[in-house]
């Protein structure tokens, strides 16, 4: 019997399948059927050949387990899936009957792609001791040159899970495989081009970033990670602005008293404004692309709060997103109306990012052209349309259906367990009225929250916490484990945790919060250093079926420890089952609960 080797890996299957149970009692016979929407991605402008061997197109998994014969046919589904996806990804795809047939392909091809299955495995609740079915498939795509010589090979593993449903095995296994294959189709469409083996196929001088998107426009997802530091205004003394039109980008419209490069501060700045100026121009990231402790401490020392826009005032803002961008900009508040402010702005400096990560396209994020009648409406009627749209969207996206509640009824029957919806990043920010577009959650208030108030945020297929100014979050991935099994004290650490996760467990339970908000931090300095050392990245993969433990501290507001399980995922986001383990909110805090540094 084969077992899943990497239950924490993100499942990648070549297609989206709905499994149809052909046998009820006795042997379980399943056939996968593709049901994947055409991914909306920019085609790579080359021609490739696709060779599908018989072992792939006719792949069948057979095994006996717990006196039950399991028969799973994946061949047709994965063949249809990869053919459809490749035709969506490349300008031209030619089917060939061998890896050496590329030289004779009409019009020529850049490479020949050959998929294969290395291993199929699944886990039942009886196997894992958790109320989930899990499916795992190891795939490999070989890339050959037109002459048939192997150029590269890409191996990847995927998984999918679904909660158990009574005594029947077929329905949850159907759901697990369908979700896994849908996720796999998205990953193949989005990430395949980012692999080195595919970059080598692009025409000379072209990258995925330079490709022009067809009409209708398919926007890339908005980067949802919050800046590590946000600056407050430099004040009116920061320099007068001649630029009055934010759309002008010529040199004539630049602010005359603010340098476009690291330069001495304006002579009229002094005291706190001068110190702020120097911090803004300081080095924020270390060589590993993490925010430097010295920079974070310097920002905290400034004790900057929200900036109040005033007409004619000039402001500085520094936005740091490790691994993505580091930008210093200036803007002037021009005028205010009932809808907001008009500003004139200019980028002063863009610091180089060594580990720059290109934004990924989301094949399920498609914004069709607006109806023509929208152009005939004024602002107020459009706002009325937006409000009506939000009402409908929130009902569709956040409603706990009877079917959903029924499937998770046993978990929801456990004391204190609740079900919450998290949407994927900012893609729905305009469509829903919930704070943060429904992607972030404040567990103390049991409400959705946006920056800077969330404890947990779903960003695509990762969960993000915070370590900035007055907030500190620590997240631990337990893997496939039941929510009820998570203990409520530090002494309840599971025996099977890895050494690294044991360290995270210890950090999570021993963080010491502070109450002096003037310090600009949520935990004492020594704990903050430990978090930076062992958990430098503020996010981790969000795996369906995995259970997580979260500690989130917001200075003077709350200190919560929450366990949650990713119960279900669709193209809109996740449903999580969660349980509050400890809640020290501002309303219930006692002086002994907090420590001052």
Which H, E and C letters describe 317-377, residue by residue? EEEEECCCEEEEEEEEEEEEECCEEEEEEEEEEECCCCCCCCCCCCCCCCCCCCCHHHHHC
Q: Are residues 442 and 337 in the same domain?
A: no
Is 474 or 21 the better-scoring residue by pLDDT? 474
Q: Are residues 157 and 292 in the same domain?
A: no
336: containing domain: 236-350
Q: What is the mean pLDDT of residues 427-440?
A: 86
Q: Are residues 421 and 524 in the same domain?
A: yes
Inside any domain, residue 359: no
Give the CA count within 13 Å in the CB-facing half-sphere of 277.
22
Going by pLDDT thresholds of 50, 70 and 90, the confidence category of residue 572 is: confident
Inside any domain, residue 385: no
Inside any domain, residue 380: no
For residues 333 and 314, give the distance between their C-alpha atoms in angstroms, rounded to a whole number.
Answer: 7
Q: Which tens digit of pLDDT belongs to each residue from 370-418?
A: 778 888 888 888 888 888 888 888 888 898 888 888 888 888 998 899 9
Residue 303, Ramachandran bin (φ over 0: left; ψ between -120 and 50: alpha; else beta): left
- CATH of residue 166's domain is 3.30.160.150
Q: Which residue has the tokens 């430990």?
A: 530
For residues 483 and 578, give the distance between their C-alpha atoms in angstroms, rounded to a whole number.
Answer: 8
Q: Are residues 157 and 73 in the same domain?
A: yes
- CB atoms near residue 100 (< 10 Å): 15
Can you read off the two tokens belonging to residue 92?
Answer: 């031209």
Which of 79-88, 162-171, 351-360 shows the lowest per-residue confidence on average (mean pLDDT)? 351-360
Q: Are residues 194 and 251 in the same domain?
A: no
DSSP alpha helix (H) spans, 9-70: 54-57
Q: Are residues 478 and 570 in the same domain?
A: yes
Q: What is the mean pLDDT of residues 459-481?
A: 86
Distance of CA 4 to the CA centre of its chain: 24
Give the CA count within 13 Å in the CB-facing half-sphere of 286.
11
Q: Are residues 509 and 426 in the same domain?
A: yes
For residues 99 and 176, give the distance between their C-alpha atoms in angstroms, rounded to a whole number.
Answer: 33
Going by pLDDT thresholds of 50, 70 and 90, the confidence category of residue 11 is: very low
Q: Are residues 479 and 565 in the same domain?
A: yes
Inside any domain, residue 230: no
For residues 130 and 163, give the distance between their C-alpha atoms in angstroms, rounded to a whole number.
Answer: 9
pLDDT of residue 308: 78
For residues 69 and 168, give the distance between their C-alpha atoms in angstroms, rounded to a whole number.
Answer: 14
Q: Which tens digit of pLDDT belongs to each residue from 278-292?
A: 888 888 888 777 788
Inside any domain, residue 3: no
- CB atoms near residue 219 (< 10 Å): 13
Distances (CA, A) of 458 to 157, 204, 450, 572, 574: 22, 37, 11, 11, 8
Q: What percent of the chain lies above the pLDDT cut of 90?
A: 16
Distance of CA 356 to the CA centre of its chain: 16
Q: What DSSP string runs through 453-498?
A: S-SEEEETTEEE--EETTEEEEEEEEEE--GGG--SSGGG--TT--
Q: Taking each helix axis as running N to C, give the angle between helix 75-89 and helix 170-191, from 0 to 180 degrees, rounded to the nearest 10.
A: 30
The pairing of beta strand 471-480 with beta strand 546-554: antiparallel
How many folded domains does the chain comprise? Answer: 3
pLDDT of residue 225: 35
Is 98 or 522 the better-scoring residue by pLDDT? 98
For the chain, helix, strand, coil in percent to 5 are 25, 30, 40
Q: Are residues 102 and 149 in the same domain?
A: yes
CA 276, 278, 284, 286 dihedral sign is: negative
DSSP alpha helix (H) spans, 58-194: 75-89, 125-128, 170-191
Q: Going along 83-147, which residue ranges are E strands? A: 90-96, 111-123, 132-144
Q: Are residues 423 and 284 in the same domain?
A: no
Can you read off the two tokens belonging to residue 340?
Answer: 């907001």
Q: Which residue has the tokens 């929510």?
A: 483
For residues 172 and 485, give the distance between their C-alpha atoms in angstroms, rounded to a whole number.
Answer: 21
pLDDT of residue 517: 56
The one-character DSSP state at 158 is E
Going by pLDDT thresholds of 50, 70 and 90, the confidence category of residue 22 is: very low
Which residue in 278, 233, 271, 240 sits closest to 257, CA to CA? 240
Inside any domain, residue 368: no
Q: Which tens digit of pLDDT belongs to each residue from 141-160?
A: 888 888 888 877 776 666 67
Residue 62, Ramachandran bin (φ over 0: left; ψ between -120 and 50: alpha; else beta): beta
Q: Are residues 243 and 195 in the same domain?
A: no
Inside any domain, residue 220: no
SS3 174: helix
Q: Are residues 514 and 564 in the same domain?
A: yes
pLDDT of residue 39: 67
Q: Going along 383-453, which residue ranges are E strands? A: 417-423, 440-442, 447-448
Sheet holding 44-51, edge to edge: 90-96, 44-51, 111-123, 132-144, 150-163
For residues 491 and 441, give the distance between their C-alpha atoms in angstroms, rounded to a whole number.
Answer: 28
Going by pLDDT thresholds of 50, 70 and 90, the confidence category of residue 262 is: low
Could you tell me which residues come within 8 angstroms of residue 481 by beta carbon, excluding any fewer than 6 positions away? 130, 494, 546, 547
Inside any domain, residue 225: no
For residues 469 and 192, give the distance between their C-alpha atoms in angstroms, rounded to a whole number.
Answer: 37
Is residue 348 within 8 Å of 277, Cβ to Cβ?
no
Which of 77-91, 245-259, 565-579 shows the lowest per-residue confidence on average (mean pLDDT)? 245-259
Q: Which tens digit of pLDDT belongs to each residue from 356-379?
A: 444 455 544 455 667 788 888 888
Highest mean pLDDT of the ranges 66-70, 262-266, 433-437, 439-443: 439-443
């Amino acid at each position: 019997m084969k077992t899943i080797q990497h239950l924490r890996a993100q499942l990648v299957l070549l297609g989206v399948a709905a499994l149809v149970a052909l046998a009820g009692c006795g042997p379980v016979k399943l056939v996968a059927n593709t049901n994947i929407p055409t991914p909306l991605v920019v085609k790579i402008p080359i021609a490739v050949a696709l060779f599908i061997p018989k072992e792939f197109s006719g792949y069948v998994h057979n095994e006996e387990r717990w006196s039950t014969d399991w028969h799973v046919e994946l061949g047709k589904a994965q063949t249809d899936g990869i053919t459809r996806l490749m035709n969506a990804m490349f300008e031209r795809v030619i089917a060939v009957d061998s890896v050496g047939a590329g030289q004779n392909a009409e019009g020529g091809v850049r490479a020949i792609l050959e998929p294969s299955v290395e291993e199929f495995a699944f886990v039942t609740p009886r196997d894992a001791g958790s109320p989930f079915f899990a499916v795992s498939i190891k795939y490999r795509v070989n890339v050959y040159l037109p002459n048939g010589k192997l150029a590269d090979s890409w191996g990847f593993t995927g998984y999918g899970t679904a909660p158990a449903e009574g005594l029947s095995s077929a329905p949850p296994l159907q759901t697990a495989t369908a979700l896994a294959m849908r996720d796999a189709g998205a990953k193949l469409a989005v990430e395949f081009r980012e692999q080195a083996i595919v970059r080598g196929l692009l025409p000379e001088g072209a990258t995925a970033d330079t490709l022009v998107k067809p009409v209708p426009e398919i926007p890339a997802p908005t980067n949802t990670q919050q800046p590590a530091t946000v600056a407050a205004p430099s004040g009116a003394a920061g320099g007068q602005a001649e630029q009055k039109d934010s759309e002008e980008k010529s040199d004539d419209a630049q602010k005359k008293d603010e340098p476009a490069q690291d330069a001495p501060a304006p002579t009229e700045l002094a005291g706190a404004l001068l110190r702020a100026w120097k911090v803004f121009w300081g080095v924020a990231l270390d060589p590993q692309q993490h925010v430097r402790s010295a920079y974070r401490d310097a920002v905290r020392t400034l004790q900057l709060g929200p900036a109040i826009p005033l007409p004619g005032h000039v402001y500085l803002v520094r936005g740091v997103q490790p691994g993505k961008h580091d930008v210093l900009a200036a803007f002037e508040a021009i005028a205010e109306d009932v809808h907001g402010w008009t500003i004139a702005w200019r980028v002063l400096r863009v610091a180089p990012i060594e580990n720059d990560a290109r934004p990924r396209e989301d094949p399920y994020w498609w914004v069709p052209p607006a109806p023509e009648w929208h152009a005939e409406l004024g602002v107020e009627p459009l706002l009325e349309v937006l409000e009506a749209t939000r009402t409908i969207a929130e009902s569709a996206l956040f409603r706990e259906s009877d079917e959903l509640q029924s499937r998770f009824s046993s978990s929801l029957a456990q004391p204190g367990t609740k079900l919450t919806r998290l949407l994927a990043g900012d893609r729905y920010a305009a469509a829903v009225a919930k704070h943060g577009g429904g992607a972030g959650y404040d567990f103390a208030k049991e409400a959705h929250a946006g920056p800077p108030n969330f404890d947990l945020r779903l960003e695509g297929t990762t969960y993000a916490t915070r370590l900035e100014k007055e907030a500190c979050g620590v997240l631990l991935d337990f893997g496939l484990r039941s929510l009820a099994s998570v203990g409520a004290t530090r002494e309840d650490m599971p025996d099977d945790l890895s050494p690294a996760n044991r360290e995270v467990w210890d950090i999570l339970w021993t963080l010491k919060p502070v109450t002096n908000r003037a310090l600009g931090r949520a935990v004492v300095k020594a704990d903050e250093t430990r978090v930076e050392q062992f958990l430098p990245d503020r996010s981790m993969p969000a795996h369906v079926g995995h259970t997580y433990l979260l500690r989130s501290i917001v200075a003077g507001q709350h200190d919560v420890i929450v366990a949650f399980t990713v119960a279900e995922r669709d193209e809109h986001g996740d449903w999580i089952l969660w349980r509050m383990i400890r809640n020290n909110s501002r309303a219930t805090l006692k002086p002994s609960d907090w420590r001052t540094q």
